[in-house]
Structure 1
Amino acid sequence: MRNEMMSRPVINSKVLHYLRQQPVPLSPKLKAIEAAAHQKRIPVIPHETVSYLYQLVDQLHPRRVLEVGTAIGFSAALFVEASQMHAQVTTIDRYPEFYEQAKQNWQALGYQQSIQLMTGDAADILPMLTGSYDLIFLDAAKAQYIHFLPEALRLLPPDGILLIDDVLQAGTIFDPVETIRHREKGIHRHLNQLLETVYDDPTLLVTLLPLGDGLLKITKRS
């Protein structure tokens, strides 16, 4: 699975180049995993999103983090590092070719005790989860975000943060549906439904950040 999002940024290319050169205090091993993933076009979050998430976790001090979409385990490891090993991360994925590599990466980093991997369909797993998570990160099948949203909000405490990655399809979600390729019409429809749902909800505060292919940040109104 190639990472198309890396080639579909939503900001000026000069600004993007600058953002992707900025230092983030990752461990040497995690930097190597990031570099190898980008070289092989493996779907991990882009460097500008890495920088934002690292700072956010450093400020938020989350104790429990939930992630949907493990891939090779890079972002889960990022949450552990940015929290200074204080966060316990639960991550969900259904693709063995990815999460087996994730487990190897966590073992190499020494983070396996801080990360719980749940294998299977998030649509089945999310309703079984209990308690709350200080930070929830959805980075999986974009057409499913609208279906994951109610469970994510159920698990989000009043002071928690929900992040939903890759919501802009390089800006094409704002194009008429007639211009969208047939195989992407479902994603187009569901992402528009997601944006309409969260922005129309008076109980939520929503910000759309132009990081990567669009990062949606959601909190609950106090």
Structure 2
Amino acid sequence: MIVDWQKLNTLRAAAKDERDPTTPDDVLAVLCQETERMQNARILEVGTGRGLTSVAFILAGARHVATIEREETRILAAKETFSAFGVSDCVTLLEGDAAEILPVLSGEYDLIFLDCAKVQYRRFLPDCKRLLRAGGVLCADDVLLFADGVPAKRRMLAKHIEEFVFDLNSDADFKTQVLSVGKGLAVARKKETQ
């Protein structure tokens, strides 16, 4: 297991060197803590990238990860990553646009991680809420992306992120906090049903 974490960290460092976005270390630590706390979690990840975060979920004790990716080069890289770590049987790679996949997806997940196009977060929220079990956690990356100011050409993106966080905070079914890790991680716990 230690060897797998070392191998994963080496690949994550290489991705950073190549300027390929990868989940920041402090964000990944929070995600892995949540995964370990849940034990045998079923996880849904929206935005696979190279598959490195999916592997981290499995190494942290997740039972299964379903992950959605639409970009062909990332799909191929993720398949290679899953094969290299021997986790292909624990990961389902859903190939296509999350806007088409999420509405027809069924089942319940213990943790959902949004790390895709930020303008889509708000659109995906109803399906994420439907798919998240009571007591489960929805995590959304980069919600403080513009905490230091919004460039003029990014105002619309900042507005989308702000509206998403507002919706999460306003939803009585969630208890939400925004952690100052990475560029902001929203952690929304879905309340247990009474």
| TM-aligned CA deviation for residue 26 of structure 1 | 5.5
2:8 corresponds in structure 1 to 30
From 136, 151, 169, the counterpart of 1:180: 151
Q: Report how far residue 129 of structure 1 moved.
A: 0.8
Tell me, in whole angstroms, the C-alpha distance in 2 between the residues paired with 1:213 and 1:55. 18
| Larger RCO: 1 or 2 (CA < 8 Å, sep 6+) | 1
1:65 maps to 2:34: no
Letter in 2 for 1:33: L
Report the counterpart of residue 39 of structure 1 in structure 2.
17
* Code of the aligned partner of 1:181: A
Contact 1:62 1:134 in 2 (8 A): no
What is the TM-score with the length of structure 2 in the denominator?
0.92
Q: Kindly indicate whether residue 32 of structure 2 is the aligned counterpart of residue 80 of structure 1.
A: no
Amino acid at match of 1:160: G
Cα drift, residue 25 of structure 1: 8.6
Distance in 2 between residues matched to 1:204 and 1:27, nearest whole Å: 32
Q: Which moved further from structure 2: 194-203 or 128-137?
A: 194-203
Identify the residue that residue 154 of structure 1 maps to in structure 2.
130
Q: Which runs of 5+ in 1 are unaligned?
A: 1-23
Residue 97 of structure 1: aligned partner: 73
The correspondence of residues 105-120 of structure 1 with structure 2, limited to 5 A, is 105-120=81-96
Please, which of 123, 132, 138 is the counterpart of residue 114 of structure 2? 138
Contact 2:46 2:69 in 1 (8 A): yes
| Identical amino acids, percent of aligned pairs | 35
The one-character-per-residue Cα deviations of 1:44-91 (angstroms, maximum 9, x if unpaired) are 1011112222222111114311000000001000001100xx511100
Matched ranges for 1:180-199 at <5 A? 180-182=151-153, 184-199=154-169
Pairs within 5 Å for 1:191-210: 191-210=161-180
Q: Which stretches of structure 1, 4 residues or longer, exceed 4 Å deviation after superposition?
A: none
1:171 aligns to what SS in structure 2? coil
Name the residue aligned to 1:221.
191
Please, what is the CA RMSD of the aligned residues? 1.7
CA contact (8 A) 1:77 1:111 kept: yes
Q: Deviations over 1:114-166 (max 9, x none)?
A: 11101111010001111100110000000100000000000011111100011
Partners of 1:38 and 1:116 in 2: CA distance: 25
Residue pair 1:65, 1:136 contacting (<8 A) in 2 also: yes
**Secondary structure in 2 matching 1:118:** strand
Following TM superposition, by how much is the alpha carbon of 1:181 offset from its aligned partner in structure 2, in angstroms? 2.0
Give 5+ residue unaligned stretches, structure 2.
none
2:109–2:131 Cα contact (<8 Å) kept: yes
Contact 1:91–1:118 (CA under 8 A) maintained in structure 2: yes
**Letter in structure 1 aligned against 2:131:** L
Kindly indicate whether the alpha-carbon contact (under 8 Å) linking 2:58 and 2:64 is maintained by their aligned counterparts in 1.
yes
Q: Distance in 1 between matches of 2:108 and 2:85?
A: 26
